Chain A
Amino acid sequence: MQRRVIFDNRALPYLLLAPQVAVTLIFFIWPAAQALWQSVHLQDAFGLRSQFVGLENFQAVLSDPNYLETVKTTIVFSASVTFLSLVSALGLAVLADAKIRAAAAYKTLLIWPYALAPAVAAVLWMFIFNPDIGILGRALNNLGYAWDYRLNDGQALTMVILAASWKQVSYNFIFFLAGLQAIPRSVLEAASIDGAGAVRRFWTITFPLLSPTTFFLLVVNIVYAFFETFGTIHALTHGGPGKATETLIFRVYQDGVVNHDLGGSSAQSVILMVIVIALTAIQFRFVERKVHYS
């Protein structure tokens, strides 16, 4: 018996596909093509004069020592944000999954930060850590510890990492909690009866069963650290002091929007695009092998 659907009309399948193709072309392919086109041109701010310069923009970016510095900062920043937000979200989810009083209230409170706009979150952090107006910032200085993230590389980077991780913990928390609750209790109970302690139960049963969730979150978090932390950094440090908290995406904005260097900025976004595609490919090729899908 023939089970395949056969279209009598040859045009109909194309017609049905057309909206999807149109959306992809207009919202994905066209902007990407524009970025590629601009990355090989030199243009004034108003777009009145433009000249083809080949790969010069790429060459200028890649030979700029400050750009390589920014790559380093981005690696440290993204790795720290991903690690911190995953680990603390997992810890909180395990705690919230246990039978505790007022668990619902905890869960709700933990999800709150996700609803905040990055810039608002950054302002809240400023009220805590600003050396002049922040509660903790002032206290640190009064205790004799020279805290001023406007002039200290390490302090500034630590602060943006903490703020960006804090923002992402809620998201990770929801997924981890859902993942934990999907683990069959009977398996854990059986392990308990066999005499496995809480730690052993976690590493041999819970964590492997959570691995699909963890893998998904790993990809999402790296993309978050690369692309969505712009607002936090912009509001907290503007990439400073020096260039200590400037990440790749911040520099794309800075060069393109503030400095009107569309060519250089486009070249950087093309590079960024390649990096993220490569990272995601590596994750799916190698990390995914260790993932256990039940």
Chain B
Amino acid sequence: MLTRRKLAVSTAAFALAAGFTGAAYAQQKTVVEFWHGLPQPLGGQLEQVVKGFNDSQDKVQVNPTFKGSYPETMQAAIAAFRAGNAPHIVQMFEVGTATMLSAGPAIKPVHQLMSETGSGLDAAAYIPAVRGYYSSKDGKMMALPFNSSTTITFYNKDAFQKAGLDPNKPPATWPEVADAARKLKAAGVTCPMTFSWPTWTQFEQVGALHDKPFASEANGFGGLNATLKINDPFFVKHLQTLIDLQKEGALRYGGRDNAADSLFPSGECAMIQASSGLRGRIVKEAKFNWGAAPLPYWPDAISSPKNSIIGGAAFWVMTSPKRTADEYKAVAAFFSYLARPEVDAKWHMDTGYVPVTLQGFELAKKEGFYDKNPGAEVPAEQLTRTATTENTMGLRLGNLPEIRNIIQEEMERAFQGQQTAQQALDNAVKRGDTVLRNFERANKN
């Protein structure tokens, strides 16, 4: 018969053994905390990618955690760092880049991580427009690009047909866009065109396409003393065109950030300039024929447009007082996995984000993805069509989210007729420069 004492001893031994194997198990795998800001369904797809990595080896366990929208993820990461408890990896949207770069000891640059751990990740494998956005002044990769998008035009082929426009020939220039919008309006379309992410699509991208600076100091890459350049006559003329089109009823302002996104798949608006990441939603929701086209340009400003710039997010490595070399090694192993062409290509084909590596793009081509999905190659082609200049590498401005909001506010006042395009952009520059000066002061060493 089992005495009470024996029972106690054997239970203790069992607990000890369980604890022991548990500890051994934990020792085997290095745990990496990874915070991301992608809601469903994209978040689930990202977690599948992580699972693919976890299953591919038995040394590292990456734990993905959804932390809310991009700005919320950024808040969480900053708060965690302040508390001395930052995650190993955080996904940060592109406009947070300058803030992350000025974080100094809070982050570990990817190029440094890679050379310390000898993982041999090749920065040259990345598409230049993507690599440029996340590189330091001297061209060193600071964050790992992952989900990048760019802005393109989606248009409703049925509406084009109805308005007597060629559905297989989307307008390529702004005069053609304006002309098409007027014809669509004449044919009874209530919303001929719109755009989401107003600052991104109408100023950041328009600047890059025409090789015009959005800000001085190479769009901020040159230093913290950059000033905004968007009250240049070129941008004033562009905004004035938008205001005029809106007055005529040929364009509809759809709201801040991505609020206008819903106007296209619902069939309300016939043309939209939006993130290439909208593709997935259009595929699912649109009940009409549609096409994708590159962004239009002003032929009187440039004969052939430059590459567009990216949006989306990248992965940043954060530091913490207790972090060990093994943990960084684990992070590097995960990053090397993400850089594999087959992982990159699959993510691109599943989600509508652009392939971030050249090999990933080639692989998607080879698999016949673009033959089956016409228009899906537009974003990648637009990103890679020219070599990057200092105006097309992207933006490196402190507190860019705030500057984007300021521009949206001033644009809205102009669309309401409270001020002219010139006044709107003068105000935006004045207020935006104040933001830049404060950032410069707060981040000076």
Contact = CB atoms under 8 A, between A and B. Distances in A.
Interface of A: 42-49, 66, 132-133, 150-153, 238, 240-243, 254, 257-261, 264
Given A44-B103, A152-B416, 4 more contacts: A45-B78, A47-B82, A242-B416, A259-B401
B255 interface: yes
Given A241-B416, A243-B409, A150 B254 contact: yes
Interface of B: 71, 75, 78, 81-82, 99, 102-106, 253-257, 259, 262-263, 266, 268, 399, 401-402, 405, 408-410, 412-413, 415-416, 418, 431, 435, 438, 441-445
B443 A150 contact: no
A180 B102 CA distance: 61
A240 B259 CA distance: 13
Nearest to A257: B75
15 contacts: A44-B442, A44-B443, A46-B104, A48-B105, A49-B442, A132-B266, A133-B266, A151-B416, A153-B416, A241-B412, A242-B413, A258-B71, A259-B435, A260-B399, A261-B438
B445 A259 contact: no
Given A150-B253, A240-B256, A242-B416, A49 B443 contact: yes
B403 to A, nearest CB: 9
A45 B253 contact: no
Q: Which of B255, B441, B444, B445 is most buried by chain A, counting CB atoms within 10 A of its CB?
A: B255
Nearest to B104: A48
Contacts of B81: 46
A241 B411 CA distance: 9
Contacts of A46: 78, 81-82, 103-104, 106
Contacts of B106: 46, 48
A150 to B, nearest CB: 4
A276 to B, nearest CB: 25
B402 A258 contact: yes
Contacts of B409: 240-243
Contacts of A151: 253, 412, 415-416
Contact of A45 (B103, B415, B441): B103
A217 B19 CA distance: 59
Contact of B259 (A42, A66, A150, A264): A150
A260 B253 contact: no
Contacts of B253: 150-151
A133 B105 CA distance: 47
B438 to A, nearest CB: 7
Contacts of A260: 78, 99, 399
Given A46-B106, A150-B253, A242-B413, A258 B408 contact: no
A243 B105 CA distance: 36
Contact of A42 (B82, B104, B401, B442): B442
A230 to B, nearest CB: 15
Contacts of B445: 49
Given A48-B106, A133-B262, A258-B401, A42 B416 contact: no
Nearest to B103: A46
A142 to B, nearest CB: 10
A48 B107 CA distance: 12
Contact of B408 (A45, A66, A133, A240): A240
Contacts of B75: 257
Contact of A48 (B103, B266, B413, B416): B103
Contacts of B78: 45-46, 260
Contacts of A152: 416
A243 B71 CA distance: 20
Closest 10 A-B residue pairs measured CB to CB?
A241-B412, A259-B402, A242-B413, A150-B255, A44-B442, A46-B103, A46-B106, A242-B412, A44-B443, A47-B82
Contacts of A261: 399, 402, 438
B279 to A, nearest CB: 21
Contacts of B102: 44
Contacts of B415: 151, 241
A42 B444 CA distance: 11
Contacts of A133: 262, 266
A239 to B, nearest CB: 8
Contacts of A153: 416
Contacts of A48: 103-106
B262 A132 contact: yes
A190 B71 CA distance: 63
Contacts of A257: 71, 75
Contacts of A66: 431
Contacts of A43: 442
Contacts of B441: 42
A259 B399 contact: yes
Q: Which of B106, B409, B441, B444 is most buried by chain A, counting CB atoms within 10 A of its CB?
A: B409
Contacts of B412: 150-151, 240-242
Contacts of B255: 150, 240
A258 B257 CA distance: 14
A254 B442 CA distance: 18
A38 to B, nearest CB: 12
A241 B253 CA distance: 11
B407 to A, nearest CB: 12
A240 B411 CA distance: 11
B104 to A, nearest CB: 6
A49 B443 CA distance: 7
Contacts of B399: 259-261
A258 B71 CA distance: 7
Q: Which of B253, B405, B408 is most buried by chain A, counting CB atoms within 10 A of its CB?
A: B405
Q: Which of A42, A150, A260 is most buried by chain B, counting CB atoms within 10 A of its CB?
A: A260
Nearest to B256: A238
Contacts of B418: 242
